[in-house]
Amino acid sequence: VIISDGSSRVLAALPTGESVEVLLFGATVLSWKDAAGDEKLWLSKDTKLDGSKGVRGGIPLVFPLFGPATPNHEPTSKLPQHGLARTARWEFLGKSTSEGSSSSVKLDFGLSSDSLTESTKALWPYKFGLLYSVSLERESLNTTLVITNDGDESFDCQMLLHTYFRTKDISAVQITGLEDSKYIDKVDGVKTKTESSSPVTFHGETDRVYTPAKGPGHPIVISNSDRPCFRIVRDNLEQVVVWNPWIEKAQGMSDFAPKDGYKNMVCVEAGSVDGWQKLDKGDAFEGAQTIHLL
């Protein structure tokens, strides 16, 4: 494990060459490479990496709010879009490794409400602990978030693993596993729709919150030109957000570069974002994804 860049990044690699890099702001996975050194995640060239904004790329963590504040949910109404975890500075708690034929490395990160700045605490006053584990194996990456309520007061929360997958050409991308599933279409005036029995393809701005009909254990597969590239298996996360900003939205984002980068990314985001998880004193919620390389 190498800690670099003024101790703001943690890099870990397997003896066979696979690697993962995590920024302490947001505990954001910035890079995941296979043994050949090929990058699996998309990262904007103009992203902020100083905690002034969420990272545009990699795997930002969304907590305790998904999307913009909803005025009818008072406790989260002061939070910025996607909450506070993606910009907060997390602590690196350490690594564990296992060697041999199935070698792996696990990096643990923590964030507690006690370590937030006073101005951030004022946005969401609850006592919580977050433990985030990033586990790299030869052919997969697992990211697991455990949320605990460390205070006396109950709170409502949402969480999401906002993964930006690198793709060759968005117009050749197909996503399977979302067939016949209900989704909220955020592009088309937040309407509820039902997906067809065909794979999802991309022809314009796409921003959908799916609740896959087959449940979290059923994999979501991302393919490019009929070649399967990633298989995502969720644990305890009922929703999958599918997002591509397309031409105009990409133009409008100051941290999105190059501007035609929308062709090389697709966000497939495992989360618990439809309604709220209520955590009472002492309760915990755990959500995870495992991304397999195909």
Which positions are catalytic? 162, 269
Q: Which amino acid is at 219?
A: P
Sign of CA dihedral 58, 31, 24, 110: positive
Residue 27 beta carbon to ligand BG6: minimum distance, rounded to whole angstroms: 16
CA angle 260, 265, 270 (to 5 degrees): 150
Our CB check for ligand BG6 shows the closer of 161 and 293 to be 161
- Contact, 154 vs 280, CB < 8 A? yes
- CB nearer to ligand BG6: give 108 or 207: 207
Interacting residues with ligand BG6 between 252 and 281 (CB under 6 A):
269
Smallest gap from Cβ 269 to ligand BG6, in A, equals: 5
Cβ closer to ligand BG6: 142 or 158? 158
Q: Does 241 bind ligand BG6 (CB under 6 A)?
A: yes
List CB contacts of 1: < 8 A, sequence separation 6 or more: 10, 11, 12, 95, 105, 107
Q: Tell the smallest beta-carbon distance from residue 61 to ligand BG6 (Å).
A: 11
Is the alpha carbon torsion for 37, 62, 56, 263 positive or negative? Answer: positive
Cβ at position 84, least distance to ligand BG6 in Å: 13
Task: Identify residues 33-92 at the interface with ligand BG6 (CB under 6 A).
Answer: 54, 81-82
**Measured CA distances, 212 to 80, 165, 172, 216, 287 (Å):** 27, 19, 22, 7, 16
Q: Which residues contact 113 (CB under 8 A, 6 or more apart)?
A: 121, 126, 127, 128, 129, 150, 151
231 binds ligand BG6 (CB under 6 A): no
Nearer to ligand BG6, 137 or 269 (CB): 269
Nearer to ligand BG6, 138 or 249 (CB): 249
CB of 16 to ligand BG6, least distance (A): 33
Sheet holding 28-33, edge to edge: 2-4, 9-13, 19-23, 28-33
Write out the binding residues for ligand BG6, residues 200-229 only, by CB under 6 A: 207
Binding marks (x or -) toward ligand BG6, 125..164, rule CB under 6 A?
A: -------------------------------------x--
Which residue among 46, 186, 205, 276 contacts ligand BG6 (CB under 6 A)?
186
- Applying CB under 6 A, the residues found at the interface with ligand BG6 are 54, 81-82, 162, 186, 207, 241, 243, 269
